[in-house]
Amino acid sequence: MSALNILVLNNLASRHKDAITAVMPDITVTVTDLEHAGEHIAATDILVAWGWTDIRPLYLAAPRLKWVHALSAGVENMTCPEIQASDTILTNSKGIHGIPVSEHVFAMMLSFTRGLNLLGRQQQDAKWARVPTEEIHEKTIGIVGLGSIGREIAKKAKGMGMEVVATKQEMTTEIFVDKLYKPEQLHEMLAASDFIVVALPLTDKTAGLFTLEEFRAMKPTAYFFNIARGAIVRESDLAIALQLGVIKGAGLDVFENEPLPADSPLWAMDNVIVTPHMAAISPAYLDRAVKLFVDNLTRYIQSREMFNIVDKVRGY
């Protein structure tokens, strides 16, 4: 294969660059940001960026581009009509999120059940007062979308003595799941769950999936968690459900608009935990992401089947 120019729109440590250039001679890695990407795009063969980067303007100015790789799992801003109609390969970083995201989900769940969401507020006023507690032991967790993140959540939930149920397109044998539901049985699963975690990709089918109707299908004691994409949930309906006690609480890492606007009612609710789209972030993230990219680059160069190829029309 002839020389390859790789443009990366994120900082890389020298060990990351070295791992990429070690794949074959004649690889050039240029690290820059979106603002300066235009200076390099005409010569770029492979573009590496986060899936929320609007790559369309770059894509239209990239005659050599053959492959776009998302450092994230989501590719929501990478599937412009032009790329959909082209033979440009699109891959993502699916498979590296399970550990940090599942830890984040349990951090939020346990914050609610041990009252840390309330205690944190009290501590600011030096207030010594016990708050109600709950156990997650023997409670049911309902995972909406059993991909690699959902499976890691299921594994940890089992280890904590929970009953695990999940929705999944295909019925497979899942060692950490007690019962699988089809997506069309979502309401049935919601009604059976004490903790509901959304772990779906954002697609035309999942956008706006959670409305007041879905919150009404949940137990009034249920806690709802979204670590997927904000647009899967109608946020105004969620706020109403939380205000009216339709559900008990919500742990949210993703929002319809990010950053979450300062006037969102969610900020002030003490039955809501807001985290700034950081569930996947950990010191290990970039090491894992670069390793995955390097493995795929090797396959690309050797013309072997690549993994994590995204169906550009389906969106995941």
CB of 97 vs ligand OXD, minimal distance in Å: 6
Residue 27 or 73: which CB sits closer to ligand OXD? 73
The single residue among 5, 53, 72, 193 that binds ligand OXD, judged by CB under 6 A, is 72
Stretch of 70-78, 123-131, 154-162, 299-307 lying at the interface with ligand OXD (CB under 6 A): 70-78
218 binds ligand OXD per the rule CB under 6 A:
no
Q: Clarify whether 229 is annotated catalytic.
A: yes
- DSSP H helices, the chain, are 14-21, 34-37, 56-60, 81-84, 98-113, 116-124, 148-159, 186-192, 212-217, 235-243, 285-301
Q: CA–CA separation, 238 vs 271, rounded Å? A: 12
**Long-range contacts at 110-118 (CB < 8 A, ≥ 24 apart):** 110/136, 111/251, 111/273, 112/223, 112/248, 112/249, 112/251, 112/271, 112/273, 117/249, 117/270, 117/271, 117/273, 118/270
Site for ligand OXD (CB under 6 A): how many residues? Answer: 6
Compose the 24-63 pattern: x for residues touching ligand OXD by CB under 6 A, - for all others: ---------------------------x------------
CB of 50 vs ligand OXD, minimal distance in Å: 8
Q: CA–CA separation, 27 vs 293, rounded Å? A: 14
Residue 96 or 118: which CB sits closer to ligand OXD? 96
280 binds ligand OXD per the rule CB under 6 A:
yes
Catalytic, out of 56, 187, 277, 288: 277
91 binds ligand OXD per the rule CB under 6 A:
no
The single residue among 49, 58, 73, 260 that binds ligand OXD, judged by CB under 6 A, is 73
Residue 18 or 258: which CB sits closer to ligand OXD? 258
Q: How many CB atoms sit inside 10 A of residue 57's CB? A: 13
Residue facing ligand OXD at closest CB distance? 72
Q: How far is CA 245 from the centre of its chain?
A: 27
Residue 51 or 247: which CB sits closer to ligand OXD? 51
Stretch of 69-77, 103-111, 297-305, 308-316 lying at the interface with ligand OXD (CB under 6 A): 69-77
DSSP 250-273: EEES--SSSSPPTT-GGGG-TTEE
Q: Clarify whether 314 is annotated catalytic.
A: no
CB of 104 vs ligand OXD, minimal distance in Å: 10
Q: Clarify whether 304 is annotated catalytic.
A: no
Catalytic, out of 36, 258, 299, 314: 258
CA distances from 181 to 50, 161, 167, 246, 302 (A): 32, 20, 5, 23, 40
* Residue 7, strand partner residues: 30, 47
Q: CA–CA separation, 74 vs 279, rounded Å? A: 13
The contact set with ligand OXD (CB under 6 A) reads 51, 72-74, 97, 280
Q: Write out the catalytic residue numbers.
A: 229, 258, 277
